Structure 1
Amino acid sequence: MSARQQTGPALRVLMTADAVGGVWQYALDAAEGMRSHGVETILAVLGPSPSKDQLDRARTNGIEVIDTGLPLDWTAGQAGEVAAAGQAIAQLAAEIRPDIVHLNSPALLADGSFPCPVVAMCHSCVATWWESVRGGPLPEAFAWRTELIRKGYRAADMLLAPTAAFAHATARFYDLADVPTVVRNGRRPVRGEAPRTRELFAFTAGRLWDDGKNFAAFDRAASRLSIPALAAGPLGGPNGAQIAAHHATALGRLSDQEVAGYLSAQPIFVSAAKYEPFGLAVLEAAQAGCALVLSDIPTLRELWDGAALYVTPDDDGALARSIGRLSADETMRRAMGETARERAGAYSVGAMSAGILSAYRSLLPSKVGFISLKGAAA
C-alpha cells in the first residue's frame, strides 16, 4: 500500500525552525516536499515570530506552525535558556508523539530527552562561523554555545549536512566519529513580478547584518560599478548586529515573492560570503537563470564550480571587475545564467525530500519502509 493510500499520515514529524533566515525556507520546503509522500510535519518555531507572509505560505500548504516563543541558541543569553528550550521542545514532542523529531537547532538536544529518534541538521554553527569569519580562540559567548552543540551532535541518532565540505568541517571541528550524512538543500522555485526597470543591476540577498555574508565587500564593490547594486535583507539582526549600506541600495527585508521578482529580471547575482554552509539565495538566483559571481570558498565551489565566476571574499576590486565583465558581455552573462539554471536542477525539493526520507527510513525501517523514494527524488 502506498503512503498516499493510508488513512492517516505515513509518518509524523516534529521539526524545529526559526523565521530569521534560510532555516525557515528549508523547513517549509522540506515539509511541503515530504507531505506528498504521506509525511505530516509540524513546525515548532523558536526565536522571533514568523511574519504574516511566512505564516500564510505555511497555512496555504496545510503545514501546522507552533510559535513557541522560545529562544534560539545563538540569541540566548546563557546556557540555561537553551537547556530550558530543549526541555520544552522535548515536552512538546511527548505531547504530540511524533515518529521522528527533526532538529534544525541541534543544541536543543544537549539537555533534552526525546521520546523518539532524533535527526539533527547541521545548518551552521557559531564555532565554524568564527573560524571562517574571525579566526583565533572562541570568545566565551561562543564557547558555551559550541559545547551545547557538541553535546547535541553526539546525542543525535543521525546528523545531516547540506554539503560535503561543511559535513567534513563539522566532523573535524567537533571530533565526530562519523561524518554527517550529506543531504543537499533544495528550494521550491518562487514566482514573482519583475521590477519595472529593465536596467541591468547587481543583486545580493540574505541576512546582510551577518558578517559571514560579507555584505561589506559587496557594498564597497558597488562604488566601483557602472550598474546599480541592490541588496535585499535586513541590516539589523535579532542578536543586535548592525551594518550600514554606503554605496549599495538596501531594499530591507523582502518576501520570497518580492525577492523572486527581482531575480526574474536576471540581474548579476553576487555572494561574497566568507561563511556559507549551503547558500539558498544562490540557488534561488540560479533557478531564475542569473549569472553568478561567488566567493571562492569550499562549499560554493562544491556546488557551483563551472557555473560561476569566483573571487576572493574580501577583494572588492576583483568583485567589481567580475561584475563589470558580465555586465559588458551579454552573451557570456546569458550563457552563464543558463549554466547556473541547469546546475540548480540537481538541488531540487524532491531530491532533498528523498534524502531526508532515506534518513528517516534508516531509523524507522518498519514504519516508513513502504514510502516510495523514487517519487521523492523527482
Structure 2
Amino acid sequence: MTADSVGGVWTYALDLARELAAQGTRVTLAVFGPSPHPDQAAAAAAVGGLELIDTGLPLDWTAADEATVRRTAVALGDLAARLGPDVVHLNSPALAADAGFEMPVVGVCHSCMASWWAAVRGGEMPEDFRWRTDLLRRGYEACDLLVAPSAAFAAATAAIYGVAPPVVVRNGRSMGRPAVRRPATGRERFVFTAGRLWDGGKNVALLDEAALLIDAPVYAAGPLESPTGHRVGLRHAKALGRLDGASVAGWMQRAPVFASLPLYEPFGLTVLEAAQAGCALVLSDIASFRELWDGVAVFADPADARELAAVLRRLLDDPAEARRRAAAARRRAARYGMDRLTAGMLDAYRSVTADRPAYPVRSEVIA
C-alpha cells in the first residue's frame, strides 16, 4: 500500500493497515514525499504486522515533471516485484501508469488536480495540471479496480477521466479509539477547524474572514505551508500549527462547533473525527458533504463570510441546539466506521485476486 505523510491519506492508510493486520493480513506501507513525523512513525511502529518503508521518493502531485513521476513509478514497481504481494493498493493511482505491476492493482481515488481545479479555480487548467491529469488517466486505466470514498467523487472521476464509475467504499475512523471520549467538563466557547490550511481548496480564508465577525475565537490546526513552499497566513483566526492526532482530538473534545468550508472535498476525514468527538458541524454546501451529512450538519455558502458568521454565532449562542446537532452528527458518524471500510476494501481485493495465481516472490527477498 502506498501513502504519504502530508494529509488525510496517511490517516486513512495507517488505520486501514491496522485493521487489515488485525485480521491477519501482512501490509507493507510504502511512504512517498516527506518522511513521516516522529508521532506518525511511532504510530506505525505500534501496528503489528505492518512494515513501513520510507522510500524518499517524491509525491506524484509535487514532482517537478513527468519523468520524475515515471522514475518513482518504476522504483515502486521494482519494490512490488521484490515483495511479491497478493495485491497492490495505490493511494496515488497515477503511479500505476508506468510501474509495470504484474500483480492486481486497486487504485483509490482520494482526490485529483483536475477536479480540484474545476472546483477551486475554474477555466482552462495550466500545463502543470494537464500533464498530471493525463498521467492520472493512464494510471486509472492501468488499475484493475478503482475505489472512491463518496458517490459524488466517484461520479466526478468517471466524468473527467472517461472511466467506469469507481466502486464507492466510504472512508472510516474507529469510534472506539482512545483519543475520542466525552469531555469531563462542558464545552468551551470557540470554533475549531483542522486540515491542510495551505490548500486553497480548503477555503480557510473564508473562515478567517468570518472570525472577525463573531465574538468568540476561531482556532485552526494544521500546516500553513505546503510541501512545495506555498504559504498562507491567517489574520483573525488563531493558527495552532501542525498538531498530532491526540492534540487534535483534545481540541475537538472541547469545541462545541467544528467548521469546514472547503470548495473541494471528496470526503473529509477531519469532519468525521469532529462528529465522533461530539462537535456540531458547520459545513460548506457541496455535493460530497450533502451526501454524507445531510440532515445533521448546518450548511453554509462557501463564498459568504457573513452567512457563515451568522451560522456560527447561532450555534455558539444556543448551546442546546449545538448539543442536538452534535448528537445527530455522532449518530451519523457511526455509518462511517473502520469495520465497513475494511470490509469494503477486503471485498475489493478479493474481486481482483479471484482466479489469479499468487505472484512469485523473487529469491533475493527470501535470502
Whether 1:172 aligns to 2:159 is: yes
Match of 2:362 in 1: none
Contact 1:101 1:118 in 2 (8 A): yes
Q: TM-score scaled to structure 1, two decimals?
A: 0.91
Q: What secondary structure does 1:84 align onto?
A: helix
**In the alignment, what sits opposite 1:204?**
193
Mapped partners of 1:360, 1:155: distance in 2: 16
CA drift of 1:41 comes to 1.1
- Aligned pair count reads 353
Q: How far does the alpha carbon of each residue in 1:341-362 deviate from its partner, in whole angstroms, 9 at most, with x for none?
A: 0000000011000000000111
CA RMSD of aligned residues (A): 1.6
Please state how far the C-alpha of 1:263 moved relative to its aligned partner. 0.6
Closer, same or farther in 2 for the Cα pair 1:298/1:256, shift >3 Å?
A: same
Q: Deviations over 1:182-225 (max 9, x none)?
A: 00000134516979996311000000000000000010000011
Rounded to whole Å, the distance in 2 between the matches of 1:150 and 1:317 is 39
Give the secondary structure class of the aligned counterpart of 1:324. Answer: helix
1:353 is aligned, of 342, 346, 351, to 342
Is 1:191 aligned with 2:179? Answer: yes
1:159 aligns with: 146
Task: Give 2:232's aligned residue.
Answer: 243
2:95 aligns to what? Answer: 108
Of the three residues 14, 23, 38, the one matched with 1:28 is 14
Equivalent in 72, 75, 81 of residue 88 of structure 1: 75
Give, in angstroms, the shift of residue 266 of structure 1: 3.5
- Relative distance call for 1:72 and 1:196 in structure 2 (3 A) is farther
For 1:372, the equivalent position in structure 2 comes to none
Query: 1:267, 1:212 → 2: CA distance?
Result: 24
Specify the alignment match of 2:55 in structure 1.
68
Aligned to 2:252: 263
- The residue aligned with 2:27 is 41
- Structure 1 counterpart of 2:148, one-letter code: A
SS in 1 for 2:223: coil
- Structure 1 residues 137 and 300: CA distance shift in structure 2, 3 A: same
The runs of 5 or more residues in structure 2 that have no matched partner are 358-367
**1:128 offset after TM fit, Å?**
0.4
4+ runs deviating over 4 angstroms:
192-198
Aligned-partner SS, 1:327: helix
Partner deviation per Cα, 1:244-285 (whole Å, 9 max, x = no partner): 010000000000000000011143000010000000000000
> Which region of structure 1 is more displaced relative to structure 2, 205-214 or 32-41?
32-41
- Give CA-to-partner distance per residue, 1:122-167, whole Å, 9 cap, x none: 0000110000000000101100000110000011000000000000
Structure 1 residue runs without a partner (length 5+): 1-14, 369-378
**Matched residues, percent identical?**
53
Deviation, structure 1 residue 56: 0.5
Distance 1:136 1:129, change over 3 A: same
Aligned to 1:18: 4
Is the CA contact 1:266–1:288 (under 8 Å) kept in the aligned structure 2? no
Superposition deviation, residue 32 in structure 1: 1.0
Q: 1:144 aligns with which of 131, 140, 147?
A: 131
- Matches of 2:40 and 2:102, distance apart in 1: 29
Q: Is the counterpart of residue 312 in structure 1 residue 301 in structure 2?
A: yes
How far has the Cα of 1:179 moved from its partner?
A: 0.3
2:324 partner amino acid: A
SS of structure 1 residue aligned to 2:179: coil
Comparing 339-348 and 359-368, the one that deviates more: 359-368
Superposition deviation, residue 110 in structure 1: 1.3
